[in-house]
Amino acid sequence: MSLWRKKSITKLLADADSSEHGLKKTLSAPSLVALGIGAIIGAGLFVRTAGAAGGFAGNAVTLSFIIAAIGCLFAGLCYAEFASMIPIAGSAYTYAYTTMGELIAWIIGWALVLEYALGAATVSIAWSEYLNNLLGGSIPYQWCHSPFESITLANHETVHGLINLPALFILLVLSLLLIKGTQESATVNAIIVFVKVGIVLLFIGVGWHFMNPANHTPYLIPADKPDLDLPNGSTYHYSDSWQHGWLGVLRGAAVVFFAFIGFDAVSTAAQETKNPKRDMPIGILGSLAICTVLYILFSHVLTGVAPYTDFMKAGKEASISYAIQTYMHDFGWLATLISVAILAGFSSVILVMLLGQSRVFYSMSNDGLLPKAFSDLHPKFRTPYKSNLILFLFVGLFAAFIPGSVAGDLTSIGTLLAFVLVCIGIIILRKSDPDRPRPFRAPLVPLFPILGILVCGAMIFSLGMSTLLTAFGWMVLGLFIYFLYSRTHSKLHTSHLDELPPPKENI
């Protein structure tokens, strides 16, 4: 059969409705909004904001957030239409299967591993680092770093890492929580979201009174901004075209885009939603809107409290705590709360990433593209427990033994590719199946999807050649797996063979 064979939407929905033993429907619109916020607010807000401001956009990092949010909005509208129309686990993978065919669906499913699995591993490593900072460095170096990392002590002794146990611990706890049930996971996520959003609002409210208007002038980094001497002895040149002015704002948008990764994970829970036709658009677009407002306010206050050049000197992870301790006197306790919010933020991001990846694997396994173990449901909890356990082993190996820097921007490129294909899918489906009921319709099609393709495509190419080449290598590996296993095990392929007439017997 053709590589472009497609799944029928009608049959897809019928199979989901007729399944009495499928994923349990427990989620409501508020749960979905909380899941979205849980996935979005994390490393991007607490780490990338200061990095984008200090290195590229300056005070105009607020504009960088707006540009990134606009790109996400175009894709989010397309996700909302798909999720309300096709309330099936699998997100962009399922949407691609029904509009562009099996090969494209496999490619996007494989790309989502970069976003969800690799993203969960990377954030768990950052979780380990922040936990150790919060505990004053009391965890021995060798037990919280990979074997590929080392440090030289004051006595010139070199200590090598062995295994990142804290990262492995948080992955295990959250994987077991997901096995227990989606509703339980959503409840824990809602509590975490309440804590970290509360602390973000507290920083905005308190920090507003410590802003210095002079720090916001000029708003864009000028081309003649003097070079900056960094603590490591190097010099940072703001004169480079992508490190000042509007080009700097655009580069900053690509950097802070990482802060929006996760809202699409809401769509992976469509099959576990009580009323997906109404609640999925609310969950996707509601979480995106809330986080965008928080991001703009947070970045405005942060660059008002401390000059953006300070963030090039204070270190990426410590920038927010540095700003509080240096410029917000008598509020040192807020820096501790920010560390707690960061840990909470990382935890909920990991939780939703693991949820999203297991649901994508669940759909791919149901289609025969992955082994059956990925779609086996627990007899009591009705969750894909084998998939969660396999995923824990895969992500855990990466988190325990590989440095977090290896991931780079691969998480972003997997997400952006998914966004592009979802936007293309909406255009295709509007032409191929215009009469199908759409509980939510994305406005101004094909204009908005085309703009989404252009904005997200531009951010893909801004990530650098090394990231693009690494992502290409990952895709080549995925195609090997598809042609060696998935293509012949696909249920569309096997059902086609069943329909063929039997061979004629020799007389």
* Helical segments of 402-440, H only: 410-432
What's the CA gap between 172 and 178, in Å, rounded?
Answer: 10
SS3 (DSSP) at 223: coil
Concatenated DSSP letters for 60-129? GHHHHHHHHHHHHHHHHHHHHHHHHHS--TTTHHHHHHHHT-HHHHHHHHHHHHHHTHHHHHHHHHHHHH
Q: What is the pLDDT of residue 16?
A: 60
Q: Which pLDDT belongs to residue 502?
A: 53
Q: How far is CA 264 from the centre of its chain?
A: 8
CA distance 145 to 402: 8
The per-residue pLDDT for 294 is 93
> What pLDDT score does 219 carry?
92
CA-CA distance, 341 to 242, in Å (whole number)? 32
HSE-up of residue 453 (Cα within 13 Å, Cβ side): 13
> For residues 499 and 483, what is the distance between their CA atoms, to the nearest angstrom?
22
Q: Which domains does the chain have, with CATH numbers?
A: 31-493 (1.20.1740.10)
Rounded Cα–Cα distance for residues 84 and 267 (Å): 9
Q: Which residues pair with 151 in a beta bridge?
A: 159
> How much is the pLDDT for 500?
46
CA 201 → CA 190, 399, 504, distances in Å? 16, 31, 74
The whole-number pLDDT of residue 445 equals 92
Say what the pTM is.
0.79
Q: How far is CA 263 from the centre of its chain?
A: 7
Amino acid at 447: L
| Bridge partner list, 144 | 164
Q: What is the DSSP letter of 27?
A: B
23, 382 in Cβ contact below 8 A? Answer: yes
The tens place of each residue's pLDDT in the chain, 507 residues long, gives 467 788 777 777 776 655 544 566 777 888 888 888 877 887 677 777 888 898 899 999 999 999 889 888 998 899 888 888 887 766 778 888 888 888 888 988 888 887 788 888 888 888 888 788 788 788 998 898 888 888 777 777 888 889 999 999 999 999 998 888 767 777 887 888 888 888 889 999 999 999 999 999 999 999 999 888 876 677 888 888 878 888 889 888 888 887 787 777 777 777 778 888 888 888 888 989 999 999 999 999 999 999 999 988 765 556 788 888 889 988 888 888 888 878 888 888 888 889 888 888 888 898 889 999 988 888 888 888 899 999 999 999 988 888 765 565 677 788 888 888 889 989 998 998 888 888 889 999 999 999 999 988 887 877 767 778 888 888 899 999 999 998 888 888 776 555 445 555 544
Cα diameter, the chain: 97
Name, in order, each residue with C-beta under 8 angstroms of 89's C-beta and a sequence gap of 6 or more: 23, 268, 269, 270, 271, 272, 359, 360, 362, 363
The pLDDT, as a whole number, for residue 23 is 64
Among candidates 98, 19, 7, 89, which has minimal Cα distance to 495? 7
Backbone CA torsion sign across 27, 32, 36, 37: negative
Give ∠ CA 380-382-384 in degrees, rounded to 5.
125
Tokens representing 436?
């199908």
* pLDDT on residue 20: 45
What pLDDT sits at residue 484? 93
Q: Tell me, what DSSP letter sits at residue 49?
A: H
The Cα 32–Cα 409 span in angstroms is 26
Q: Cα–Cα distances in Å, from 74 out to 165, 422, 454, 455, 499?
A: 40, 10, 10, 9, 41
User: How far is the C-alpha of 267 from the C-alpha of 419, rounded, in Å?
Assistant: 12
What pLDDT score was predicted for residue 318? 63
